[in-house]
Amino acid sequence: MTQRLFVAILTVFVFMAGFGARIWTEPRQPVPPVPAALAQEYARPVATDSKSKRQLDRAKLVADIEKVRPQIIAYTARVDEINAEFDREFVQVLNPVQREKFLADQKKRSERDAKRVTSRTPLSDEDIQREKDGPFNFIYWMVTVNPGLEWRTKEYGLDSAQQSTTRSLLALRRNKFIALFDATPHPSIRLSRLAPLIERVAAPAK
């Protein structure tokens, strides 16, 4: 799958998930139409009234997660490997001051993720939908190079040589992720953020 097709698909996904206003866009270029089958698979149901908004079958959602849990585990483990490989290479690009900031940012991110997983507060229906939409945003950042490069340049003050190396690392990461995406059943990706929170999914928020 080409990057251009990925960007086209993900643009539709992000609009569906309500992330469009928050995501940087790449230069406007003609893109192929989104494959109908894939767009339908990820289509987000539109609630027509307040009653339909409340009709979230948590038991079925938990069953769906358990059904694909092995694939979710394999997918998330490989994503972690891909990101760890990128981080090991990226940290070598940085000078000592930049490296210190990067490591501090990683620590904060790890603490935030741990807090999210260890929380016992039941998820609301809106929380669950947000967690189901989250992978769309994540995929966008994994398969596009320019937004990630621009963010890291601003965040860490990368010089031109560092930017060139980082661009290559981001492109390599993208290629690894696209191969993983193509080999992974898409429901596993859609439910990947909810799997660690399954106990909070099962119990409805009060």
DSSP 76-142: HHHHHHHHHHHHHHHHHHS-HHHHHHHHHHHHHHHHHHHHHHH--PPPPHHHHHHHHHHHHHHHHHH
Range from 53-62, 70-79, 185-194 carrying the lowest mean pLDDT: 53-62
| pLDDT higher than 80, residue 46 | no
More confident residue, 34 or 104: 104
Give the pLDDT confidence score for residue 10 in this predicted structure: 53
| pLDDT higher than 90, residue 171 | yes
The owner of tokens 């507060």 is 121
| pLDDT single digits (tens) 65-100 | 999 999 999 999 999 999 999 999 999 999 999 999
As given in the structure block, the two tokens for residue 204 are: 């409805």
Domain ranges of the chain: 3-202
